[in-house]
Structure 1
Amino acid sequence: MINGAHIIIYSQDAEADRAFFRDVLEYPHVDAGDGWLIFRLPPAEVAVHPSDAPSHELYLMCDDVNATVDQLSAKGVTCAPVTNAGWGLKTGIRLPGGGELGLYQPRHETALNL
Protein backbone atom coordinates (compact mmCIF):
# COMPACT_ATOMS: atom_id res chain seq x y z
CA MET A 1 0.00 0.00 0.00
CA ILE A 2 1.11 3.59 -0.50
CA ASN A 3 3.03 4.83 2.55
CA GLY A 4 4.10 8.34 1.59
CA ALA A 5 4.46 10.99 -1.08
CA HIS A 6 7.53 12.44 -2.76
CA ILE A 7 7.17 16.03 -3.94
CA ILE A 8 9.55 17.45 -6.55
CA ILE A 9 10.24 21.17 -6.89
CA TYR A 10 11.90 22.08 -10.17
CA SER A 11 14.32 24.96 -9.78
CA GLN A 12 16.67 27.16 -11.77
CA ASP A 13 19.06 26.94 -8.80
CA ALA A 14 18.53 23.63 -7.01
CA GLU A 15 21.53 24.09 -4.71
CA ALA A 16 20.18 27.42 -3.42
CA ASP A 17 16.71 25.97 -2.91
CA ARG A 18 18.13 22.95 -1.07
CA ALA A 19 20.07 25.34 1.18
CA PHE A 20 16.81 27.27 1.78
CA PHE A 21 14.99 24.13 2.94
CA ARG A 22 18.01 23.07 5.04
CA ASP A 23 19.08 26.40 6.56
CA VAL A 24 16.01 28.66 6.55
CA LEU A 25 13.13 26.23 7.02
CA GLU A 26 15.43 23.90 9.00
CA TYR A 27 13.79 20.74 7.63
CA PRO A 28 15.49 17.48 8.63
CA HIS A 29 17.06 15.75 5.66
CA VAL A 30 19.11 12.87 4.36
CA ASP A 31 21.82 13.00 1.73
CA ALA A 32 20.83 10.58 -1.03
CA GLY A 33 24.34 10.90 -2.46
CA ASP A 34 26.58 13.65 -3.81
CA GLY A 35 24.81 16.37 -1.79
CA TRP A 36 21.37 15.48 -3.18
CA LEU A 37 19.28 16.34 -0.12
CA ILE A 38 15.86 14.80 0.48
CA PHE A 39 13.80 16.62 3.13
CA ARG A 40 11.29 15.37 5.64
CA LEU A 41 8.18 17.51 5.40
CA PRO A 42 5.70 18.29 8.13
CA PRO A 43 2.49 16.25 8.10
CA ALA A 44 0.63 16.88 4.87
CA GLU A 45 -2.79 16.69 3.28
CA VAL A 46 -3.93 16.83 -0.33
CA ALA A 47 -6.96 18.59 -1.83
CA VAL A 48 -8.37 18.24 -5.34
CA HIS A 49 -9.77 21.43 -6.88
CA PRO A 50 -11.68 21.72 -10.17
CA SER A 51 -9.81 23.36 -13.05
CA ASP A 52 -9.90 23.64 -16.83
CA ALA A 53 -6.08 23.74 -16.83
CA PRO A 54 -4.77 21.05 -14.44
CA SER A 55 -1.66 22.01 -12.47
CA HIS A 56 -0.11 21.42 -9.07
CA GLU A 57 0.84 23.79 -6.26
CA LEU A 58 2.64 23.33 -2.96
CA TYR A 59 1.39 25.28 0.06
CA LEU A 60 3.00 25.04 3.47
CA MET A 61 0.63 25.47 6.41
CA CYS A 62 1.13 27.33 9.68
CA ASP A 63 -0.81 28.32 12.78
CA ASP A 64 -0.02 32.05 12.54
CA VAL A 65 0.88 33.33 9.08
CA ASN A 66 1.92 36.81 10.27
CA ALA A 67 4.30 35.42 12.90
CA THR A 68 5.71 32.97 10.36
CA VAL A 69 6.26 35.76 7.83
CA ASP A 70 8.06 37.75 10.54
CA GLN A 71 10.32 34.75 11.32
CA LEU A 72 11.08 34.18 7.64
CA SER A 73 11.69 37.89 7.01
CA ALA A 74 14.21 37.92 9.88
CA LYS A 75 16.10 35.24 7.92
CA GLY A 76 16.08 37.36 4.76
CA VAL A 77 13.19 35.60 3.02
CA THR A 78 10.95 37.64 0.73
CA CYS A 79 7.24 36.99 1.27
CA ALA A 80 4.29 38.40 -0.66
CA PRO A 81 1.75 40.50 1.26
CA VAL A 82 -0.61 38.46 3.42
CA THR A 83 -4.11 38.37 1.95
CA ASN A 84 -7.44 37.08 3.20
CA ALA A 85 -8.66 34.29 0.90
CA GLY A 86 -11.75 33.53 2.98
CA TRP A 87 -10.66 29.96 3.66
CA GLY A 88 -7.49 31.30 5.28
CA LEU A 89 -4.76 33.91 5.31
CA LYS A 90 -2.16 33.34 2.61
CA THR A 91 1.13 34.59 1.24
CA GLY A 92 3.88 33.40 -1.05
CA ILE A 93 7.50 32.60 -0.22
CA ARG A 94 10.06 33.41 -2.92
CA LEU A 95 12.63 30.63 -3.31
CA PRO A 96 16.23 31.49 -4.21
CA GLY A 97 15.90 29.38 -7.40
CA GLY A 98 13.10 31.60 -8.73
CA GLY A 99 10.07 29.56 -7.69
CA GLU A 100 7.42 30.32 -5.13
CA LEU A 101 5.79 28.28 -2.38
CA GLY A 102 2.42 29.13 -0.93
CA LEU A 103 2.06 29.59 2.81
CA TYR A 104 -1.26 29.77 4.56
CA GLN A 105 -3.04 29.76 7.89
CA PRO A 106 -6.19 27.70 7.34
CA ARG A 107 -9.53 28.78 8.74
CA HIS A 108 -11.11 25.45 7.84
CA GLU A 109 -10.81 22.09 9.53
CA THR A 110 -7.68 20.27 8.40
CA ALA A 111 -7.05 16.54 7.94
CA LEU A 112 -3.74 16.68 9.81
CA ASN A 113 -4.99 15.13 13.05
CA LEU A 114 -7.03 12.25 11.61
Structure 2
Amino acid sequence: MINGAHVVIYSRDAEADRAFFRDVLGYPNVDAGGGWLIFKLPPAEVAVHPADSASHELFLMCDDVAATVAELTAKGVEFTQPVSDEGWGLRTVLRLPGGGELGLYEPRHAKAYEL
Protein backbone atom coordinates (compact mmCIF):
# COMPACT_ATOMS: atom_id res chain seq x y z
CA MET A 1 0.00 0.00 0.00
CA ILE A 2 1.26 3.50 -0.76
CA ASN A 3 2.06 5.27 2.49
CA GLY A 4 3.64 8.55 1.40
CA ALA A 5 5.01 10.68 -1.38
CA HIS A 6 8.56 11.83 -2.12
CA VAL A 7 9.00 15.17 -3.89
CA VAL A 8 12.22 15.84 -5.82
CA ILE A 9 13.40 19.38 -6.58
CA TYR A 10 16.15 19.58 -9.17
CA SER A 11 18.56 22.43 -8.50
CA ARG A 12 21.61 24.13 -9.97
CA ASP A 13 22.83 24.58 -6.38
CA ALA A 14 21.49 21.71 -4.27
CA GLU A 15 23.56 22.65 -1.21
CA ALA A 16 22.12 26.19 -1.13
CA ASP A 17 18.57 24.92 -1.61
CA ARG A 18 19.03 22.29 1.11
CA ALA A 19 20.27 25.04 3.45
CA PHE A 20 17.20 27.12 2.52
CA PHE A 21 14.80 24.32 3.47
CA ARG A 22 16.76 23.59 6.66
CA ASP A 23 17.65 27.09 7.87
CA VAL A 24 15.05 29.46 6.39
CA LEU A 25 11.96 27.26 6.30
CA GLY A 26 13.08 25.26 9.35
CA TYR A 27 11.98 21.89 7.99
CA PRO A 28 13.15 18.90 10.06
CA ASN A 29 15.34 16.51 8.07
CA VAL A 30 17.30 13.30 8.01
CA ASP A 31 20.71 12.85 6.46
CA ALA A 32 20.46 9.97 3.99
CA GLY A 33 24.26 9.92 3.83
CA GLY A 34 26.97 12.32 2.76
CA GLY A 35 24.93 15.42 3.59
CA TRP A 36 22.05 14.37 1.34
CA LEU A 37 19.20 15.85 3.38
CA ILE A 38 15.61 14.65 3.04
CA PHE A 39 13.04 16.97 4.57
CA LYS A 40 9.83 16.34 6.42
CA LEU A 41 7.13 18.36 4.71
CA PRO A 42 3.96 19.80 6.17
CA PRO A 43 0.71 17.97 5.36
CA ALA A 44 0.25 17.74 1.61
CA GLU A 45 -2.32 17.23 -1.11
CA VAL A 46 -2.16 16.70 -4.87
CA ALA A 47 -4.35 18.15 -7.61
CA VAL A 48 -4.53 17.18 -11.28
CA HIS A 49 -5.08 20.06 -13.71
CA PRO A 50 -5.73 19.87 -17.46
CA ALA A 51 -2.82 21.00 -19.68
CA ASP A 52 -1.48 20.66 -23.22
CA SER A 53 1.73 19.02 -21.96
CA ALA A 54 2.76 17.13 -18.84
CA SER A 55 4.51 19.18 -16.17
CA HIS A 56 4.61 19.47 -12.39
CA GLU A 57 4.70 22.32 -9.89
CA LEU A 58 5.26 22.50 -6.16
CA PHE A 59 3.30 25.01 -4.08
CA LEU A 60 3.81 25.55 -0.38
CA MET A 61 0.62 26.44 1.50
CA CYS A 62 0.11 28.87 4.39
CA ASP A 63 -2.73 30.31 6.45
CA ASP A 64 -1.76 33.97 5.93
CA VAL A 65 0.22 34.74 2.78
CA ALA A 66 0.89 38.37 3.71
CA ALA A 67 2.39 37.40 7.07
CA THR A 68 4.39 34.56 5.51
CA VAL A 69 5.77 36.81 2.77
CA ALA A 70 6.77 39.39 5.41
CA GLU A 71 8.47 36.73 7.56
CA LEU A 72 10.36 35.20 4.64
CA THR A 73 11.32 38.59 3.18
CA ALA A 74 12.85 39.49 6.55
CA LYS A 75 14.97 36.33 6.19
CA GLY A 76 16.19 37.47 2.76
CA VAL A 77 13.85 35.44 0.56
CA GLU A 78 13.18 36.98 -2.87
CA PHE A 79 9.65 36.91 -4.27
CA THR A 80 9.44 36.98 -8.07
CA GLN A 81 5.73 37.76 -8.32
CA PRO A 82 3.50 39.95 -6.19
CA VAL A 83 0.64 38.32 -4.31
CA SER A 84 -2.30 37.90 -6.68
CA ASP A 85 -5.91 36.98 -6.01
CA GLU A 86 -6.67 33.88 -8.08
CA GLY A 87 -10.17 33.33 -6.69
CA TRP A 88 -9.23 29.92 -5.26
CA GLY A 89 -6.56 31.61 -3.12
CA LEU A 90 -3.87 34.25 -2.78
CA ARG A 91 -0.72 33.25 -4.68
CA THR A 92 2.90 34.36 -5.05
CA VAL A 93 6.21 32.83 -6.13
CA LEU A 94 9.52 32.70 -4.26
CA ARG A 95 13.00 32.10 -5.64
CA LEU A 96 15.19 29.36 -4.23
CA PRO A 97 18.91 30.10 -3.79
CA GLY A 98 19.66 27.60 -6.59
CA GLY A 99 17.56 29.62 -9.04
CA GLY A 100 14.38 27.55 -9.02
CA GLU A 101 10.99 28.87 -7.99
CA LEU A 102 8.26 27.62 -5.66
CA GLY A 103 4.69 28.76 -5.49
CA LEU A 104 3.28 29.89 -2.16
CA TYR A 105 -0.41 30.31 -1.57
CA GLU A 106 -3.13 30.86 0.98
CA PRO A 107 -5.98 28.59 -0.12
CA ARG A 108 -9.63 29.60 -0.05
CA HIS A 109 -10.75 26.09 -0.99
CA ALA A 110 -11.33 23.18 1.36
CA LYS A 111 -8.00 21.53 2.20
CA ALA A 112 -7.77 17.84 1.34
CA TYR A 113 -5.12 17.22 4.00
CA GLU A 114 -7.75 18.04 6.65
CA LEU A 115 -9.83 15.01 5.66
User: TM-score by structure 1 length?
Assistant: 0.98
Stretches (4+) displaced over 6 A: none
Which letter does structure 1 place at the counterpart of 2:68? Answer: T
Structure 1 CA distance for aligned equivalents of residues 92 and 52 of structure 2: 24
Identical-residue share of aligned pairs (%): 75
Unaligned runs of 5+ in 1: none
Deviation of 1:54 (Å):
1.2
Distance 1:93 1:37 in 2: 21
Matched, 1:68 2:30: no
Deviations 1:47-82 (A, max 9, x none): 000111110000000000000000000100011210
* Paired residue total: 114
RMSD: 0.5
Partner of 1:50: 50
Larger strand share, 1 or 2 = 2
What one-letter code is carried by the residue in structure 2 that aligns with 1:22? R
